[in-house]
């Protein structure tokens, strides 16, 4: 080995070119045939073996490293790129997005900030997103690694701007009264986690009851705020949910914004699931009122199909975010000239060194265009609503929740089955379909009962996939019943 070489470049760039071409060919082979085969398969022993053992002392040729990784990874991928993956809530990625990630790393710029082309990409993406939300001039934002981070960024901004003291200095211990935040019972747990990280604790989060649509009951909110004020708390923030993860339920954002305005509270919207419905000509009314928010958390690796992990925290007043996060280090002083001029991303969020995640967002919008993105959203809403309608019509299925957007919730049903038996059989059907690679759906609890979720945030899914999997779902339930599965549960 040549011990004098300390740089990490390939010894031979032609070898890298050959490998790179092979990686592209592998990507084409994989993604162009993603319709075929099992949605998900458990990792084999070979995959486990490939990713075990200590850090190697000696390096290996990159093409061998690549081969080892690809042969162990691809057969045991999550499967979310497959047309029949509708578990939890995630995007299916795109080939263009993968290329953007490569190209971002080849550009190599640090998006902490600085006067670079890369910085202009992120600012343009932020402009597009604030425009999508409907924010006025003077709004701003920052890309984050996830929707959870976007919510955290927005809630810290809300907290700091609503505080009557300089919380950046004295902390929340210096507040005259403990703060209270309000979100629906269906809010994503990342909101509670953000408040834990922020030192408020989950006690600071008041969960407002939901109505029959599983959206926050705006009528319940003023009374809770008044009650908290009377008890010596400081209500500061109403958190609307534009697309609950379980069911897609969208709070009445117009009503919530009015309560927030009347009560003098910050209005934040967790739009990670549904805010992008703004891009649909047909359905944008579902998230009407989003434009009245003070801050909105977005996830771009979900319905927008951008590869993981990228979200965005957008704010009505750009300075609210910089007032919250801008900081100064001796080693990082802005200059009037040279590389380190301009609007510094690190001053709008928690991260300082950052990659060019903006590029995959930019390329997705440029390649697909707003109209087609809107049509994809309409298409997936139609598929999910179709599934929910079928669940209502099928004698052996039950629709478990309204389907305002792209999440259908249902269960296999039989007249003689107890709720315990229904919970067990639905869980079993779901796991069997995962295990045999037919489809990935996930579950939730609705009214204390197990519901199976078909979250169609997948640009590749077509109606025949939904139909075929619902056929399978019913057939599997019938088979389990015939085998006496439910009797077993009853006997337990």
Q: In the range 151-170, which residues lie near a copy of itself by CB under 8 A?
A: 152, 156, 159, 166-170
19/256 with CB nearer a copy of itself: 19
**DSSP-based three-state secondary structure for 67:** helix
The angle at the Cα of 49, spanning 48 to 54, to the nearest 5 degrees, equals 110
Q: Is residue 283 close enough to count as binding a copy of itself by CB under 8 A?
A: no
Q: Is residue 395 close enough to count as binding a copy of itself by CB under 8 A?
A: no
Considering only 10, 288, 386, 414, the residue that binds a copy of itself (CB under 8 A) is: 10
Considering only 36, 338, 415, 416, the residue that binds a copy of itself (CB under 8 A) is: 338
Considering only 252, 294, 443, 465, the residue that binds a copy of itself (CB under 8 A) is: 443
Q: What is the DSSP string of 458-479?
A: -TT--HHHHHHHHHHHHHHHHH
Considering only 86, 109, 140, 252, the residue that binds a copy of itself (CB under 8 A) is: 109
Q: Shortest Cβ distance from residue 354 to a copy of itself (Å)?
A: 5
Taking the C-alpha atoms of residue 433 and residue 77, their distance in angstroms, rounded to an integer, is 16
54/395 with CB nearer a copy of itself: 54
Beta bridge mates, 446: 449
Q: Is residue 489 close enough to count as binding a copy of itself by CB under 8 A?
A: no
Q: Shortest Cβ distance from residue 487 to a copy of itself (Å)?
A: 21
Piece in contact with a copy of itself (CB under 8 A), picked from 263-271, 283-291, 315-323, 349-357: 349-357
Considering only 302, 316, 390, 399, the residue that binds a copy of itself (CB under 8 A) is: 302
End-to-end CA distance of the chain: 65
Taking the C-alpha atoms of residue 435 and residue 209, their distance in angstroms, rounded to an integer, is 36
Segment 183-202, which members bind a copy of itself (CB under 8 A)? 188-190, 192-202
Considering only 67, 88, 224, 467, the residue that binds a copy of itself (CB under 8 A) is: 88
Beta bridge mates, 449: 446
Q: Is residue 420 close enough to count as binding a copy of itself by CB under 8 A?
A: no
The per-residue b/e assignment along 132-170, b for 16 or more CB within 10 angstroms, e otherwise, is bbbbeeebbbbbbbbbbbbbbbbbbbbbbbbbeeebeee
Q: Shortest Cβ distance from residue 257 to a copy of itself (Å)?
A: 24
Q: Shortest Cβ distance from residue 330 to a copy of itself (Å)?
A: 4
Segment 39-78, which members bind a copy of itself (CB under 8 A)? 40, 42-43, 47-48, 50-62, 65-66, 68-70, 72-78
Q: What is the DSSP letter of 297?
A: E
Tokens of 39: 């949605």
The per-residue b/e assignment along 348-370, b for 16 or more CB within 10 angstroms, e otherwise, is bbebbebbbbbbbbbbbbeebee
Measured on CA atoms in the order 50, 54, 60, 66, is the torsion positive or negative? positive
Q: What is the DSSP string of 244-277?
A: -TTT--B--HHHHHHHHHHHT-EEEEE-TTTGGG
Segment 360-389, which members bind a copy of itself (CB under 8 A)? 360, 362-372, 375-376, 379-380
Q: Shortest Cβ distance from residue 415 to a copy of itself (Å)?
A: 26
Q: Shortest Cβ distance from residue 99 to a copy of itself (Å)?
A: 6
256/450 with CB nearer a copy of itself: 450
Are 305 and 291 within 8 A, CB to CB?
no
76/220 with CB nearer a copy of itself: 76
């Amino acid at each position: 080995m040549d011990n004098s070489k300390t740089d990490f470049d390939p010894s031979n760039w032609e070898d890298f070119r050959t490998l790179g071409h092979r990686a592209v060919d592998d990507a084409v082979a994989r993604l162009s045939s993603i319709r075929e085969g099992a949605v998900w398969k458990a990792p084999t022993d070979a995959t486990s073996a490939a990713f075990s053992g200590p850090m190697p002392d000696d390096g290996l040729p990159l093409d061998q490293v690549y081969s080892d990784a690809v042969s162990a990874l691809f057969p045991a991928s999550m499967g979310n790129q497959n047309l029949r993956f509708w578990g939890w809530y995630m995007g299916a990625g795109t080939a263009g997005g993968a290329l953007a990630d490569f190209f971002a790393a080849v550009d190599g710029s640090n998006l902490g900030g600085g006067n670079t082309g890369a910085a202009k990409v992120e600012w343009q993406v932020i402009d597009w997103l604030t425009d999508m939300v409907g924010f006025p001039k003077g709004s701003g934002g920052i890309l984050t690694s996830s929707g959870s981070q976007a919510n955290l960024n927005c809630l810290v901004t809300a907290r700091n701007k609503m505080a009557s003291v300089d919380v950046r200095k004295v902390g929340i211990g210096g507040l005259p009264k403990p703060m209270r935040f309000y979100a629906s019972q269906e809010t994503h747990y990342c909101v509670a986690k953000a408040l834990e990280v922020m030192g408020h604790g989950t006690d600071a989060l008041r969960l407002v009851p939901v109505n029959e649509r599983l959206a926050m009951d705006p009528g319940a909110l003023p009374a809770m705020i008044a009650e908290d004020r009377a008890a010596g708390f400081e209500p500061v923030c109403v958190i609307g949910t534009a697309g609950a993860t379980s069911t897609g339920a969208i709070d009445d954002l117009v009503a919530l914004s009015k309560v927030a305005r009347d009560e003098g509270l910050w209005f934040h919207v967790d739009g990670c699931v549904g805010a992008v419905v703004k891009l649909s000509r047909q359905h944008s009314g579902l998230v009407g009122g989003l434009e009245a928010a003070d801050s909105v958390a977005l996830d771009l690796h979900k319905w927008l199909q951008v590869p993981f992990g990228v979200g965005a925290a957008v704010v009505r007043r750009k300075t609210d975010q910089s007032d919250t996060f801008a900081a100064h280090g001796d080693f990082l002083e802005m200059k009037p000239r040279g590389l380190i001029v301009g609007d510094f991303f690190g001053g709008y969020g928690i991260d300082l060194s950052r990659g060019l995640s903006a590029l995959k967002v930019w390329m997705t919008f440029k390649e697909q265009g707003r109209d087609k993105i809107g049509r994809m959203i309409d298409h997936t809403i139609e598929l999910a609503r179709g599934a929910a309608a079928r669940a209502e019509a099928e004698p052996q299925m039950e629709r478990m929740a309204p389907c305002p957007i792209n999440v259908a919730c249902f269960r296999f049903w039989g007249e003689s089955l107890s709720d315990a038996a229904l919970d067990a059989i639905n869980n079993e059907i779901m796991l069997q379909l995962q295990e045999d690679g037919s489809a990935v759906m996930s579950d939730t609890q609705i009214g204390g009962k197990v519901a199976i979720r078909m979250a169609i945030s997948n640009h590749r899914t077509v109606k025949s996939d939904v139909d075929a999997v619902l056929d399978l779902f019913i057939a599997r339930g019938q088979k389990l019943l015939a085998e006496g599965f439910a009797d077993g549960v009853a006997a337990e």
